[in-house]
Structure 1
């Protein structure tokens, strides 16, 4: 936590120039769950040191992402049959939460990469799996061009993929919320084929007709560069066209994997907010005049609320772990009922992780006091990050789908947002 007074820094301007990152990666190969968690903890300690400054200056974490993917953590879900560690999804959630506690923008950036890997695992051909899993294990990153700002809803796509008559396909469209694309070696584009099915079209980032623009102006998750992607006549070969729609038409882990990563980011935000609250109350806050105490940390009401925050955090962490273990059970042979049950478990985790992220980041300022709002500390980033990231998938619908499954046996929808 920075304590030095400094002049305001002008945020980095929007750009379509890619940040400097390693274009020829050579990643370490992680082999066990324990190694994945240990590596994440080492990286988190590094990333935490500059997190407040990166947020304040809107300095994009290109160097940090090179460290992150070179560590092997971006490949830990690759199946063992293709050379990966195939870690438990409970381990994956803990890795993302650990990194997100250090810097939730960095923790969010691999979300779409990891979701795409599960789509490839479930729906791609054997040749495609060997190709893309091999590249990921080498250290290449996938960045998303999926959601669209102007479509009717988040699952509606206007971007098209059509055969050219020359053995490949052309993609045309415009995307927003393209988290990770600016830092990626390959872009996976969500597009609708001639039959109306949603596919992923994976292309090199430098493909002609592809333009990635950092237009992200959100007040939270400021260094994710989640801006626009413009797609004009982008050509993609058959090896890059993944029939992702199959992960929704049949029972699969795809939606649950996407959602548990989002929940893990929120756990990380909550951990960081609570840790900073405790540190600030101990070291900087003054006791309230009516408490009769010499130290703010002796205030009985503050003590009780710290206890409440920790209890709620541990409950969210427990449901997150349970949800990850549940996803493991549908990895090989998912059935409709099993996937529905897993979906509700992930939804329960998403409810509690959302609640604790927002509560903890708000309570930070209430318990730490007015001086915690000073710009030199930049502690408001926790609330800004929590409020922004938890908007991804509204918990009001999580409650509905959980209740409808438990009460009426109605299977939750199968898509990336549930």
Structure 2
């Protein structure tokens, strides 16, 4: 498979818009039938979009975080599940940028530019908190063995490598870039969420899986010192929700213009002239534009933190991203619900599958609670308290 090498931010955005145009027509069918998007992911891979965050020094475009967030939002607008699948791919590449050795960076970045996709095996079920990890990394000779079970492993089903969070014998966390075809590794397609249905966010089981020492990158230290890894993870989530919100908004516009009937008391002939419907669209548009603006603003803060990572710049980026996450959560859910209020009963017919927008938003926005984003934001501005450094703020 020949993979394009994208070399600039402008090219990345142009390619994303072209790919989104091709993905959009069958998005409702893929969701309805839970049709796993292998051909679509191959299309995205060939386009070069999976490699846009590879630094220029290693042959990539090294795009800004503003551009990266926009690309994810564009793809998520076309298909919410496809927008989420590369989230942990880019997250792993950022961990590699921050903590990998030059040899690891050279080798793994080259794989990505050649068309290899990274999934993830980070979260686990049954632990006391969402951040706790029990999957073990045990020394064996010059390498290691991994034992454990993961869930919410978005993208692992489609990946050639599965970056996996593991804990060594000293209780220190690492990220192991495990080849997906390793003996003892099993990816299970058991994701049954009612939204984001084709993300492949199921289980990964490690039964004495071998991993080379050269494929293990320090992970815990990413959060022990100021780095932009945490807010990078979060801005991608905000971009996914913003894209889902834009999709719901655009579908609502189209449905009201072409199919909906005005309410009998409105005194107008077209639903698009109903004054209360017009007002509601105005409210949606303002909040959507605010979400998109805050997403771009957060990207600028994150770019600053990447260029100069201090406690202050990383905290400012984390808060800017938290603001984008808070409003993107709300508008994604609101747009998915208001679509039906404005479009009417016809919009609920299964043939349209318009409920996928709300289902996708509801499932994805549960990644981490928005109520704690407001707490972090308020504490930062009111009490000058920096937020904790981790991937969930």
TM-score range, shorter chain: over 0.9
Q: 1: distance between equivalents of 2:220 and 2:95?
A: 9
Residue matched to 1:65: 41
Q: 2: distance between equivalents of 1:319 and 1:176?
A: 31
Residue matched to 1:182: 157
Q: 2: distance between equivalents of 1:239 and 1:416?
A: 24
Q: 2: distance between equivalents of 1:332 and 1:237?
A: 31
Q: 2: distance between equivalents of 1:116 and 1:317?
A: 25
Residue matched to 2:86: 110
1:95 to 54, 68, 71: 71
Q: Please provide the CA RMSD for this pair.
A: 0.8
- The alpha carbon displacement at 1:248 in A equals 0.4
Q: Does structure 2 conserve the Cα–Cα contact (< 8 Å) formed by 1:273 and 1:364?
A: yes
Q: 1: distance between equivalents of 2:209 and 2:108?
A: 19
1:77 to 11, 32, 53: 53
Indicate yes or no: 2:212 matched with 1:243: no
1:284 to 236, 244, 259: 259
Q: 2: distance between equivalents of 1:246 and 1:77?
A: 21
- The alpha carbon displacement at 1:28 in A equals 0.7
Residue matched to 1:122: 98
Residue matched to 2:279: 304
2:121 to 145, 168, 186: 145
2:188 to 213, 231, 235: 213
Q: Does structure 2 conserve the Cα–Cα contact (< 8 Å) formed by 1:120 and 1:244?
A: no
- The alpha carbon displacement at 1:144 in A equals 0.4
CA displacement 1:373-408 (0-9 Å, x = unmatched): 000101011110111111112110101111111122
Residue matched to 1:411: 386
2:120 counterpart SS class: strand
Q: 1: distance between equivalents of 2:175 and 2:210?
A: 13
Q: 2: distance between equivalents of 1:224 and 1:281?
A: 30
Q: Does structure 2 conserve the Cα–Cα contact (< 8 Å) formed by 1:62 and 1:183?
A: yes
Residues paired across the two proteins, number: 393
1:330 counterpart SS class: helix
Q: 1: distance between equivalents of 2:392 and 2:214?
A: 26
Indicate yes or no: 2:116 matched with 1:154: no
Q: 1: distance between equivalents of 2:71 and 2:109?
A: 20
2:290 to 315, 328, 347: 315
2:361 counterpart SS class: helix
- The alpha carbon displacement at 1:333 in A equals 2.7
Q: 2: distance between equivalents of 1:106 and 1:341?
A: 29
Which has a greater percent of helix?
Answer: 2
Q: 1: distance between equivalents of 2:18 and 2:125?
A: 37
- The alpha carbon displacement at 1:204 in A equals 1.1
2:147 counterpart SS class: strand
Q: Which moved more, 1:206-215 or 1:188-197?
A: 188-197
- The alpha carbon displacement at 1:332 in A equals 3.0
Indicate yes or no: 2:157 matched with 1:163: no
1:143 counterpart SS class: coil
CA displacement 1:147-178 (0-9 Å, x = unmatched): 001111111001010101x2000010000000
